[in-house]
Homo-oligomer: A and B are copies of this chain.
Amino acid sequence: MQNNMTGHTILLVDDEQDILDFLSYNLQKEGYKVFTASNGEEALKLVRQISPSLILLDIMMPKMDGIETCQLIRKDLQFEQPIIAFLTSRAEDYSQVAGFEAGADDYITKPIRPRLLVSKVSSLLRRLERAVETTDNTNSSLKINRDKYLVELNENKIILPKKEFELLEMLASRPGNVFTREQILSTVWGNEAIVGERTIDVHIRKLREKLGNDYIRTIKGVGYTFSED
């Protein structure tokens, strides 16, 4: 039943075996490689060995709780940062837990529905894939930060509307690459959307207005390309 080709590795950490089994079952079914740990220390050891893409971490655990574990993981792996999501029961207030400060990326509240779990996991992993693409252009003058929805161009911070942001993100993901209108439509708009002929142009124009004309070049009859000259 392997629906998933990405082959991401997921680490589950919970002190209750039932929960581990339940999560494992549902995630393995989707084709993920799943490892489990039943406490924070075990998790820390495993993390170094398996380099998981995603860690689901129970907040309430004896000895070392999720928050502490999370902080240690973040300290330990300064470079390859996995995505970390906390598992909480509905009862626990956010203010008592404050996971984002500890370095969490998301929350999943128990009781956990299989469907929601799977969709959340895949959406979290998608975030990772995008981040990898984008992280590369570090030394360039244009930085795109998806979490902050922020574009930095020569120290100037620019906040773009959604469509413009996604369009720019796509073009900048592979500088020099020419993207056809068709490709752009199916990526940014989704191949369902029926949009007029001039829609893309207008967005391109607005981007040029904000970034200057030097970044996005038109290849007539083909499409658009992004470069930094």
A residues lining the B interface (CB < 8 Å): 3-4, 15, 30, 41, 60-65, 67-68, 88, 90, 93-96, 98-101, 106-109, 111, 114-116, 118-120, 122-123, 126-127, 130, 146-150, 159, 161-162, 165-166, 169-170, 173-174, 176-178, 183, 186-188, 190-193, 219-223, 225
Contact = CB atoms under 8 A, between A and B. Distances in A.
19 contacts: A4-B63, A15-B115, A60-B123, A62-B119, A65-B119, A65-B126, A67-B126, A93-B162, A95-B149, A96-B123, A98-B173, A100-B173, A108-B186, A109-B192, A147-B178, A148-B178, A149-B225, A150-B176, A161-B221
Nearest to A190: B109
Contacts of A220: 161-162
A123 B178 CA distance: 16
Given A98-B169, A147-B177, A166-B93, A64 B191 contact: no
Contacts of A3: 41, 63-64
B115 A187 contact: no
A60 B116 CA distance: 9
B109 A191 contact: yes
B148 A187 contact: no
Contact of A221 (B107, B147, B162): B162
B148 A225 contact: yes
Nearest to A174: B100
Given A15-B115, A67-B126, A119-B65, A146 B108 contact: no
A110 B161 CA distance: 24
Nearest to A85: B186
Contact of A166 (B41, B90, B94, B187): B94
B62 A109 contact: no
A96 B94 CA distance: 23
A127 B180 CA distance: 13
Given A4-B63, A63-B118, A100-B174, 19 more contacts: A15-B115, A30-B63, A60-B123, A62-B114, A65-B126, A67-B126, A90-B192, A95-B146, A95-B169, A98-B169, A99-B187, A109-B186, A109-B190, A147-B177, A147-B178, A149-B222, A149-B223, A149-B225, A162-B219
